[in-house]
């Protein structure tokens, strides 16, 4: 018996070495951790239960029958994050460059099936060279099986991808269908075709970093939701994110203890909005003062900064925040901001995370670039997302809520549950200057007449009270009591029950 136990230990030790010490050293030399080191940081200490440690590929072409490595380039299993189970797979770049074979794909799909059946989140750590070239179509089939499961799991369990090295070819599309993608700066990149193919096809010369580095994907393409300086930072952040998420779409919101009183008053909010309506202020200050312990996990912080999205907690329970940011482009809604926020709203709705929306929006961004770029369709995405969401929706208008953007930003008309406005709110079709120039054109540039009309318009419309008179605003509240008001509203809405009409699925303007 003893020698059988020893053989198991020896086999395990071999498998843990993956592609061998030399390749592990090369991995470390690139400031990258190995697959197993990553899993150790992601999960609670000692909680990892591995599956498929001895799986090998079955390829026989190109001499592959002579090179079999236990695990076949991906480490799979489950463990806990602060006591709650999650499934994890980590590509092992030291084994055939982490490339995906048929057997490697089967390890991942087995895990996806288990995660779905058991209603727990799944995290993939990517560091790989795409399809196992020696396996040909068997690898392509394997990718297809993974993709199909990503689709079926979407909206049922949270799926998160962390890109920690190369991620090319077939490897990009599985992350693309997950809820969130995070990257590690300078050591990771994502593209469908690499610099060599790009050079051949389009004659462009680019580096991997320029083509698909973290900077590109967090600021330009919006493929990635955030980036971190190194593997450890990224993995620690993922623990923080997982803590905020429900286990699945039928599970309750996670709730943690907090010492932050729900009725905390923030007097500084009374002076957050400047007297001059054209002056910016930082909406993140409001978010940080409203959430528990100023703890806010921002999503897509570097993209479309004119809108802020992210997760925080109130009374220990997760809340999704969407807020126009007056500091950037005056908080205007453009195509990028609309797409960014729409996707976030749909994520929250899918997982029953209540939405709190802070509104200070001068409207949609005018111009040919926006119109040619499909502003109508992209703006409609956010409108659609808010309109279909059945989670508790609480809205606070801090300043401007102009035009169509007023309707879009979780207004009463889109089934906003509780709609508050600060006394500084201005709810109107447009700002005073534009409005007066149109409806009083007949003044023919008479400056005094225009000024009088402008004052008249401002007095009548640029306040929360016309909307409040109609019941579009439930209450005009003191800025300093915003947290207390939202906390009470969220408590009330815990029992909210609202269903959309039955349908196979909707037809959101993609
Ligand atoms: C088999 C692979 C591999 C692959 C890398 N390796 N990619 N083995 N299939 N796709 C192996 C290498 O042979 C090498 O083995 C080890 O992994 C490390 O690779 P290096 O090239 O030495 O590493 P590095 O210089 O860091 O470059 C990493 C890389 C490069 C940029 C990822 O390896 C690369 O370009 N690989 C090919 C990428 C690719 O074209 N994949 C197919 C995409 S098509 P040894 O034994 O020397 O350590 C695709 C289609 C699917 O995925 C579409 C589905 C929709």
The domain segmentation of the chain, as residue ranges, is: 2-244, 267-425+463-494, 431-462
**Which architecture does CATH list for 267-425+463-494?**
Alpha-Beta Complex (3.90)
How far apart are alpha carbons 377 and 152 in whole angstroms?
A: 26
How far apart are alpha carbons 4 and 412 in whole angstroms?
A: 69
Task: Give the position of tokens 């200057």.
Answer: 433
71 belongs to the catalytic site:
no
170 belongs to the catalytic site:
yes
Q: Which residues of 453-475 are buried (b: 16+ CB within 10 A; e: fewer)?
A: bbeebbeebbbbbebbeeebbbe
Q: Is 94 in the pocket of ligand 1 (CB under 6 A)?
A: no
Q: Which protein residue has the closest C-alpha to ligand 1 atom 45?
A: 96
Q: Is 166 in the pocket of ligand 1 (CB under 6 A)?
A: yes
Residue 94 Cα distances to 100, 139, 405, angstroms: 13, 18, 50
Nearest to 194 by CA among 225, 168, 220, 228: 168
Angle, nearest 10°, between helix axes 482-492 and 283-290? 60
DSSP 462: S
- Tokens linked to 462: 């640029």
Nearest to 340 by CA among 312, 321, 356, 313: 321
Distance 64 CA to ligand 1 centre (A): 15
Distance 150 CA to ligand 1 centre (A): 23
With a CB cutoff of 8 Å and minimum separation 6, the contacts of 479 are 266, 269, 270, 272, 273, 398, 422, 423, 424
Q: Which protein residue has the closest C-alpha to ligand 1 atom 5?
A: 97
Distance 22 CA to ligand 1 centre (A): 17
Q: Is 98 in the pocket of ligand 1 (CB under 6 A)?
A: no
pTM of the model: 0.96
Distance 185 CA to ligand 1 centre (A): 20
Nearest to 319 by CA among 256, 367, 277, 380: 256
Q: Is 418 in the pocket of ligand 1 (CB under 6 A)?
A: no
Q: Which atom of ligand 1 is nearest to the CA of 171?
A: 52
pLDDT of the residue at 443: 65
Distance 194 CA to ligand 1 centre (A): 11
Q: Which protein residue has the closest C-alpha to ligand 1 atom 46?
A: 96
Burial of 203 (0-12, 13-18, 19+ CB in 10 A): exposed
DSSP 365: P
For 106-156, give the DSSP string: HHHHHHHHHHHHHT--EEEEEEE-SB-GGGTHHHHHHHHHHHHHHHHHTTT
At 288 the three-state DSSP class reads: helix
Pairing of strands 84-91, 122-128: parallel
Residue 359 Cα distances to 194, 269, 455, angstroms: 41, 15, 24
Distance 190 CA to ligand 1 centre (A): 13
- Tokens linked to 235: 């993995």
Cα dihedral across residues 438, 444, 448, 449: positive or negative: negative
Task: Give the position of tokens 């102009």.
Answer: 402
Catalytic residue among 19, 97, 165, 170: 170
510 residues of the chain, pLDDT tens digit each: 888 999 999 999 999 999 999 999 999 999 999 999 999 999 999 999 999 999 999 988 888 888 899 999 999 999 999 999 999 999 999 999 999 999 999 999 999 999 999 999 999 999 999 999 999 899 999 999 999 999 999 999 999 999 999 999 889 999 999 999 999 999 999 999 999 999 999 999 999 999 999 999 999 999 999 999 999 999 999 999 999 999 999 999 999 999 999 999 999 999 999 988 889 999 999 999 999 999 999 999 999 999 999 999 999 999 999 999 999 999 999 999 999 999 999 999 999 999 999 999 999 999 999 999 999 999 999 999 999 999 999 999 999 999 999 999 999 999 999 999 999 999 988 888 888 888 887 666 678 888 888 888 888 888 899 899 999 999 999 999 999 999 999 999 999 999 999 999 999 999
131 belongs to the catalytic site:
no
Beta-carbon neighbour count of residue 403 at 10 Å?
Answer: 18
Distance of CA 57 to the CA centre of its chain: 35
Q: Which protein residue has the closest C-alpha to ligand 1 atom 44?
A: 169
98 belongs to the catalytic site:
no
Distance 35 CA to ligand 1 centre (A): 17
According to CATH, the topology of domain 2-244 is 2-enoyl-CoA Hydratase; Chain A, domain 1 (3.90.226)
- Tokens linked to 23: 């390749």
Q: Is 195 in the pocket of ligand 1 (CB under 6 A)?
A: no
Domains 2-244 and 267-425+463-494 share a fold: yes
Phi and psi, residue 161, nearest 5°: -120, 135
Q: Is 191 in the pocket of ligand 1 (CB under 6 A)?
A: no
Catalytic residue among 35, 405, 421, 435: 405
Q: Is 96 in the pocket of ligand 1 (CB under 6 A)?
A: yes
Nearest to 279 by CA among 330, 337, 325: 330
With a CB cutoff of 8 Å and minimum separation 6, the contacts of 84 are 120, 242, 243, 247, 254
How far apart are alpha carbons 276 and 302 in whole angstroms?
A: 27
Q: Is 190 in the pocket of ligand 1 (CB under 6 A)?
A: no
How far apart are alpha carbons 461 and 429 in whole angstroms?
A: 9
Q: Which protein residue has the closest C-alpha to ligand 1 atom 55?
A: 170
Q: Which of 25, 34, 97 gets mutated to test ligand 1 (max ligand atoms within 8 A of its CB)? A: 97
Nearest to 159 by CA among 424, 351, 387: 351
């Amino acid at each position: 018996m003893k020698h059988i136990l020893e053989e198991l230990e020896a086999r395990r030790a071999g498998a843990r070495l993956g592609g061998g010490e030399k390749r592990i050293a090369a991995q470390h030399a690139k400031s990258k951790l190995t697959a197993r080191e990553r899993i150790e940081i992601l999960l609670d200490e000692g909680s990892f239960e591995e599956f498929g440690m001895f799986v090998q590929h079955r390829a026989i072409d190109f001499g592959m029958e002579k090179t079999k490595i236990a695990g076949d380039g991906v480490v799979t299993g489950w463990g806990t994050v602060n006591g709650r189970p999650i499934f994890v797979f980590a590509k092992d770049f030291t084994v055939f460059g982490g490339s995906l074979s048929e057997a490697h794909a089967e390890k991942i799909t087995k895990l996806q099936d288990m995660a779905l059946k058991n209603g727990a989140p799944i995290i993939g750590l990517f560091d790989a060279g795409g399809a196992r070239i020696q396996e040909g179509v068997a690898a392509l089939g394997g990718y297809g099986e993974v993709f199909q499961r990503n689709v079926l799991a979407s909206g049922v369990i949270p799926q998160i991808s962390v890109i920690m090295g190369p991620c090319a070819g077939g490897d990009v599309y599985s992350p693309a269908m997950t809820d969130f993608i995070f990257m590690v700066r300078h050591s990771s990149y994502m593209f469908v075709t690499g610099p060599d193919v790009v050079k051949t096809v389009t004659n462009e010369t680019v580096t991997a970093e320029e083509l698909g580095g973290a900077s590109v994907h967090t600021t330009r393409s919006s493929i990635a939701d955030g980036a971190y300086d190194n593997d450890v930072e990224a993995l620690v952040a993922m623990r923080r994110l997982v803590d905020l998420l429900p286990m699945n779409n039928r599970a309750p919101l996670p709730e943690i203890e907090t010492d932050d009183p729900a009725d905390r008053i923030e007097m500084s909010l009374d002076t957050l909005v400047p007297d001059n309506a054209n002056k910016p202020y930082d909406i993140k200050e409001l978010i940080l003062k409203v959430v528990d312990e100023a703890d806010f996990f921002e999503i897509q912080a570097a993209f479309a900064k004119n809108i802020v999205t992210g997760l925080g907690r109130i009374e220990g329970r997760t809340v999704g925040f969407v807020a126009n940011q007056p500091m950037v482009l005056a908080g205007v809604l453009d195509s990028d901001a609309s797409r960014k926020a729409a996707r976030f709203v749909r994520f929250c709705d899918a997982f029953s995370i209540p939405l709190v929306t802070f509104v200070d929006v001068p409207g949609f961004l005018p111009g040919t670039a926006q119109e040619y770029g499909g502003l109508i369709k992209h703006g409609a995405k956010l409108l659609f997302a808010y309109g279909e969401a059945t989670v508790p929706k609480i809205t606070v208008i801090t300043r401007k809520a102009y035009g169509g953007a007023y309707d879009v930003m979780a207004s009463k008309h889109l089934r906003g549950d509780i709609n508050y406005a600060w006394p500084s709110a201005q709810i109107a079709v447009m700002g005073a200057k534009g409005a007066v120039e149109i409806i009083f054109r007949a003044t023919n540039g008479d400056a005094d007449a225009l000024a009088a009309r402008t004052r008249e318009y401002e007095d009548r419309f640029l306040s929360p009270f016309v909307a409040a008179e109609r019941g579009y605003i439930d209450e005009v509240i003191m800025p300093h009591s915003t947290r207390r008001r939202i906390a009470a509203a969220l408590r009330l809405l815990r029992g909210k029950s609202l269903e959309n009409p039955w349908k196979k699925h909707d037809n959101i303007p993609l």
